[in-house]
Amino acid sequence: MRDQKARAEWAEYKMHATAWLDDNSGAIGRAYGMLTTPHMFVIDKTGTLVYDGAIDDQPDPFHDPHKAHNYVRDAVGKVLAGEKVTTAKTKPYGCAVKY
């Protein structure tokens, strides 16, 4: 049921997600120490956590994302290129997660 709702929302907002993780129980968030939403994690193909933190360097909710340094994009790019992630951890920002 949740999968159908998620896919309907993707279609409505023209989102092109390739994967969806339902952590309704909070088990995965707790396992990784998720503090905020968003709190981003990049995991390489071996299952190693290679990035943990903020999506970008602009915590102001009204910032221009085009001018921000996107840590997640950089980490994913490095992983796909077979390179070491240079910024592996940053401080996440956003609303606190309540388990």
| Domain contains 3 | no
| Domain contains 14 | no
| Domain contains 8 | no
| Domain contains 65 | yes
> Would you state the pLDDT for residue 30?
96
The number of domains in the chain is 1
> Would you state the pLDDT for residue 6?
78
> Would you state the pLDDT for residue 28?
94
Range of the domain at 33: 23-96
| Domain contains 85 | yes
Per-residue tens of pLDDT for the chain, all 99 residues: 667 887 888 888 888 777 778 888 999 999 999 999 999 999 999 999 999 999 999 998 888 888 999 999 999 999 999 999 999 999 999 999 998
Closest CA to 51 of 86, 78, 82, 89: 89
> Would you state the pLDDT for residue 1?
61
Taking the CA atoms of residue 83, residue 32, residue 22 and residue 40 in that order, the dihedral angle to the nearest 10 degrees is -50
| Domain contains 2 | no
Q: Residue 48 is part of a domain; what is its CATH number?
A: 3.40.30.10
Q: Distance between CA atoms of 2 and 11, rounded to whole angstroms?
A: 14
